[in-house]
Structure 1
Amino acid sequence: METKVAVVTGSNKGIGFEIVKGLCQKFNGVVYLTARNEERGRQAIRKLREFELNPLFHLLDVTDEESIKEFASHISKHHSGIDVFVNNAGILDFDKSVPSYEDAKKLIDTNFMSLLTISKILYPLLKNDARIINLSSDWGLLSNIRKQVWLDTLVKDDLTVEEILQFVNDFLTAVKGGKNTFVSFAGQHGDYKVSKVALSALTFVQQRQFTEQGKDISVNCVHPGFIKTDMTKGMGDFEPERGARAPLYLALEAPQSQKGTFVWHDCHQVNWDD
């Protein structure tokens, strides 16, 4: 019998690490802990082995197309496909509420643009009933955007990936326009908000595309809660283990018919565009 495969990006610490831990405990298959830094990734593996859990490690930098291709080659060589894919990798500089253009672009490249490269290279390896879980945020709700044209565009039933890219690029242009233009687009930490709104919107577009292709793949996004991690400088309402609860629910317990939803940290569905 072929072995099932789960992959979690950016999972050497924080919520990603706890998702890997939970999958190792409950998922009937192989679990890949991935990280862009080999030493930190292997340290995380050793930590999980102390719990008698045995994930596999693979280097994966989601911002590096060659790294993604190398990982895809590894999966193709050793497995028949991917059953669960958790897009967890993400960055946020809590200290820079109004970032420079370079910092905003780096964040958006990591948190959103990387998903487009992953979709192109790794999603062809998904099995027909695979589950994709995108880590969003309460800052990934549409109400975080202040520019009316995008409030109107991003809710369209026929929204396209190209239009989401236009949204992201319009924001990056606003960053170049200075602090006032930046804040009028999405407020403080607007780069993070835009990256997560774009990720949420992509979730719904890709779900529609898979359904149109006749595939039973489910794509859902999730707000894990305000979690105490390095990214939040230790601030938050919950520990990382609690942040893994809803992503693990979508990976392991949710009905396969649950598709294209935005799930809150307590596992209930919310309206993304309220």
Structure 2
Amino acid sequence: METKVAVVTGANRGLGFEIVKGLCQKFNGAVYLTSRDEERGQKAVRDLEELGLHPLFHILDVTSDESVEKFASFIKSHHGGIDVLVNNAGILDFDKPISSYEDAKKLLDTNFYSLLKISEHLYPLLTNSARVINISSDWGLLSNIRKQIWLDTLIKDNLTLDEILQFVNDFLQAAKNGRNAFGAFAGNYGDYKVSKVALSALTFVHQKEFVRLGKDISVNCVHPGFVKTDMTKGMGNFTPERGARAPLYLALEAPQTLKGTFIWHDCHKVNWDD
């Protein structure tokens, strides 16, 4: 019998680290802590080993096609597939409410475009009852967007990947046009908001595709709360351990029938498009 496999991206610290810890405690299988920085990733593994836990490590830069493809090849050759995939990797410069085009593009490469690489290389490895958890944010709710054309588009039942890509590209074009156009699209931290809104929308599109293919795979996104991490400069209401509660619920406890939803930090379902 094949060992079950769980994978967490961007997991060497903060929320990702706590999700790995929880999986090591409760998931019956191999848990991969992945990080783009090998030294930091290995240190995180050692920290968990000191607690009596046994995560596995693999380097993974979600912004690199080559890195994601190498990781997929490794999983394929060493395991039967992936049973739990937590897409946690993300960045935010808390000191820049309005950033440059270049910074916005870098953020979107990590927070959104990376999911396209993940879906291309890792989704084919998902087992038939796998669970995918995308870490979103309350800034990933549709109401964070100020442009009516995109409010009308993203709410559609038949939303497509191409339309999500057009949404992100429209924002990047606005970012090129300067601070006022940037702010008019989504306000302060607009690049982060757009990345999480796009991630949430992609969650629902991917879920519908798995249903169309007849696969019992669940894809959900989750707002873990305002978590105190290095990324938030230590600001927040929740510890990383508390923030991991809802992602771990989706990974381990939620009914498999829970599909294509936006889950709040207290584990209840909310309307993404309110």
Unaligned runs of 5+ in 2: none
- Output the CA distance in 1 between the equivalents of 2:251 and 2:218: 10
State percent identity of aligned pairs.
77
SS in 1 for 2:158: coil
What corresponds to 1:183 in structure 2? 183
What's the CA shift for 1:177?
1.1
- Output the CA distance in 2 between the equivalents of 1:96 and 1:250: 32
- Output the CA distance in 2 between the equivalents of 1:245 and 1:51: 19
- Output the CA distance in 2 between the equivalents of 1:188 and 1:253: 36
What's the CA shift for 1:67?
0.4
SS in 1 for 2:31: strand
SS in 2 for 1:92: coil
What corresponds to 2:74 in structure 1? 74
- Output the CA distance in 1 between the equivalents of 2:177 and 2:77: 47
**TM-score, normalised by the number of residues in structure 1:** 1.00
Alignment map for 1:207-246 (pairs within 5 Å): 207-246=207-246
Residue identity opposite 1:206 in structure 2: H
- Output the CA distance in 2 between the equivalents of 1:182 and 1:76: 42
What corresponds to 1:116 in structure 2? 116
What corresponds to 2:98 in structure 1? 98
What's the CA shift for 1:180?
1.0
What corresponds to 1:17 in structure 2? 17
When structure 1 is superposed on structure 2, of 172-181 and 225-234 the one drifting more is 172-181
SS in 2 for 1:237: coil
What's the CA shift for 1:65?
0.5
**TM-score, normalised by the number of residues in structure 2:** 1.00
What corresponds to 1:253 in structure 2? 253
Residue identity opposite 1:164 in structure 2: I
What's the CA shift for 1:16?
0.2
SS in 2 for 1:225: coil
Alignment map for 1:114-153 (pairs within 5 Å): 114-153=114-153
What's the CA shift for 1:273?
0.2
- Output the CA distance in 2 between the equivalents of 1:75 and 1:119: 14
SS in 2 for 1:23: helix
Is 1:85 aligned to 2:88, yes or no?
no
Is 1:56 aligned to 2:56, yes or no?
yes
What corresponds to 1:268 in structure 2? 268
SS in 1 for 2:165: helix
- Output the CA distance in 1 between the equivalents of 2:36 and 2:127: 25
- Output the CA distance in 1 between the equivalents of 2:7 and 2:251: 11
- Output the CA distance in 2 between the equivalents of 1:40 and 1:181: 38
Task: Let me know the Cα RMSD of the aligned residues.
Answer: 0.4
- Output the CA distance in 1 between the equivalents of 2:91 and 2:153: 26
Alignment map for 1:188-207 (pairs within 5 Å): 188-207=188-207
- Output the CA distance in 2 between the equivalents of 1:131 and 1:253: 11
Residue identity opposite 1:67 in structure 2: S
SS in 2 for 1:93: coil
Aligned residues: 274
Is 1:36 aligned to 2:36, yes or no?
yes
Residue identity opposite 1:98 in structure 2: I
Task: Give per-residue Cα distances to partners, 1:108-143, cap 9 Å, x unaligned.
Answer: 000000000110011000001000000000000000
Runs of 4+ aligned residues of structure 1 deviating over 4 Å after TM superposition are none
Is 1:107 aligned to 2:107, yes or no?
yes
- Output the CA distance in 2 between the equivalents of 1:219 and 1:112: 15
Unaligned runs of 5+ in 1: none
- Output the CA distance in 1 between the equivalents of 2:68 and 2:109: 14
- Output the CA distance in 1 between the equivalents of 2:178 and 2:137: 25
Residue identity opposite 2:14 in structure 1: G
- Output the CA distance in 2 between the equivalents of 1:18 and 1:272: 25
What's the CA shift for 1:208?
0.4
- Output the CA distance in 1 between the equivalents of 2:210 and 2:76: 21
